[in-house]
Amino acid sequence: MTETADDGSFLPQKAPVAPDTSADRPLTPLLASEKQKQPLSLSSSPTARPTPRSPAIPIPLVNSLLRPADSSVEMPTTPNNPEAWTLVEGWERPTPKPSDASSPFPLLRESPDSTVDEIDYSRLPQNGVGMNKSFRWLRLAVVEMANTSVLDILSRLQSFWKGVAKKDVSFLLTNSPEVEEQRRWMLSTMIHMDQVPAINGPLQPRQETPLTARMILSIYDSAATVAYLAALEHQKQIYHVSQLSIPKRELFANVHVISVSQVSPTDFPVAPRVYESVHSLTLPSLCPSAYLPGILNNVYKCLKKKGFLRLVLIDPLPRAGTMGKKLKTWIEEHLLRNLAKQAKCMSPSTAFPPLLAEAGLRGDGSTLTTTKFYAVPSSATDTDPDMIKDVMQAENEAKAQVRSLVGRMLWIEAWGSHVTASKWWWDDPACVAECLELGTFWEYHTVKGVKEDYKVKTVQKSTGIGE
């Protein structure tokens, strides 16, 4: 069996296996008295990949309000603590507690509801559900997806990826029903893996008055992401800062578009101190690096007291030490050069810790969740034909493959529009073979950055996330 260290690091073992898929940690290290010793961790050798008769790596649950996750030890925290964003390997894993109301939420979460009549899930529409489609059916689709078994999810995702194998890069950047469905599977898996939400409450968004509305701001996300958020948070009002042009009659009742001409800190017509949270799935890749401090400063201004920014960070490059020459060459030639020309942020996990600190978005209660996923799904499967897998191992392998395909879709959402090649790197057999040999994997980080009561002007050195 694989053993995991308390600090989330990767240490050598005799039988190298897959990387741990997720880890949830507070942004401030544990006190010395709270540290607990645990067994050694997994290997992160460049050649690490599953070996015959080694079990698939367990997939920890992603935190969700639908099922409270194990949370961290309560401890005093200090805003802008320079040690709060040290290397992932240097952080201590907190001691879990049965429940804690301060557990971090996922990027998108379900609102508490009351009761509802029985639903016929077989009547879900077959042509996709976008921002301007039926709210009722999107609510049903969200719940149906969350109730789907891991093996069924994997089968659907594999079928989709087989179908797009011969299509060019532009297809996965469209809003076609097939791609839209994959985006919903991506969001559902990021939130609900191993968890089943109850469908409670009305199937129509509740109308609110300005005095009672609980408001959320989504900045620059896709229509599919905002629609999903509106269905999950149907008791809240979603304000979408966007360059999209959508007629008001086509929007859900709880979605309001704030039109902007560009992604820029100078074009941000949002009222101050009115939103309980701000969400963004792909902010780091949307504008030049020089714009990010101003945008984050605007986020700080529009948040209520103790409001927070929910942000997802994924780097263009996989985890250092697991990337081979062929994949590195492909990414440098077809992505990084284009990002450099546009002065885009090419390492969000390194750049954002000091940016969030300077913006006053690393207050008490800020958290970080790191999820690891293989570059190639088959890296997670045991290749020994004589190996008899138990139910748990088979399910864990399926989960790892699902996370690989979902992580690939997240990478496309963040960086796909900047790729200059006509085909993706996973369409290159040489790149795939290299990734299988080296056990290449990516990480993405979900950040909850809590607004500080006041900004602390400090100059501090940050090493970023997981370098």
Highest CATH level, class, for 22-450: alpha beta
pLDDT at 203: 55
Most confident of 46-50, 122-126, 148-152, 197-201: 148-152
Would the pLDDT of 72 be above 60? no
Could you identify the residue written with the tokens 């409001």? 307
pLDDT at 106: 32
> What's the pLDDT band for 166 if we cut at 50, 70, 90?
confident
> What average pLDDT does this structure show over 38-63?
37
pLDDT at 48: 38
Judge whether 378 and 436 are in contact, CB under 8 Å. Answer: yes
> What's the pLDDT band for 31 if we cut at 50, 70, 90?
very low
Would the pLDDT of 423 be above 90? yes
465 vs 224 pLDDT, higher one: 224
pLDDT at 386: 63
> What's the pLDDT band for 121 if we cut at 50, 70, 90?
very low
> What's the pLDDT band for 112 if we cut at 50, 70, 90?
very low
pLDDT at 24: 57
Is the four-CA dihedral 175, 178, 183, 184 of positive or negative sign?
positive
Least confident of 61-70, 127-136, 162-171, 271-280: 61-70
* Sheet with strand 237-242: strands edge to edge: 22-26, 367-374, 441-450, 303-314, 275-280, 215-219, 237-242, 255-259
Report CA-CA distances (Å) from 129 to 136, 167, 176, 236. Answer: 10, 22, 10, 20
Q: Where are the domains of the chain?
A: 22-450
DSSP state of 283: G
> For the whole model, what pTM was predicted?
0.72
pLDDT at 387: 67
Least confident of 194-198, 388-392, 403-407: 194-198
pLDDT at 404: 97
Q: Which of 363, 373, 368, 374 is nearest to 446 (CA)?
A: 368
Is the four-CA dihedral 176, 236, 193, 116 of positive or negative sign?
negative
The per-residue pLDDT for range 320-356, each reduced to its tens digit, is: 999 999 999 999 999 999 999 999 999 999 999 999 9
pLDDT at 454: 76
pLDDT at 84: 45
Q: What are phi and psi of 304, to 5 degrees?
A: -70, 175
Q: What are phi and psi of 241, to 5 degrees?
A: -75, 115
Report CA-CA distances (Å) from 394 to 62, 151, 160, 380, 381. Answer: 19, 9, 21, 10, 9
Could you identify the residue written with the tokens 């309560």? 74
The first and second tokens of residue 16, run together, are 């190298």
Report CA-CA distances (Å) from 147 to 144, 314, 405. Answer: 5, 27, 19
CA distance 356 to 465: 13
pLDDT at 201: 55
CA distance 369 to 380: 21
pLDDT at 27: 52
CA distance 16 to 43: 5
Least confident of 207-216, 232-241, 296-305, 421-430: 207-216
3-state secondary structure 293-351: HHHHHHHHHHEEEEEEEEEEEECCCCCCCCCCHHHHHHHHHHHHHHHHHCCECCCHHHH
CA distance 175 to 398: 27
6 vs 178 pLDDT, higher one: 178
CA distance 89 to 40: 12
pLDDT at 349: 95
CA distance 321 to 12: 14
Please count the CA atoms within 13 angstroms of the CA of 138 that sit on its side-chain side.
28
pLDDT at 395: 87
Q: Residue 327 pairs with which residues in a beta bridge?
A: none
Would the pLDDT of 110 be above 90? no
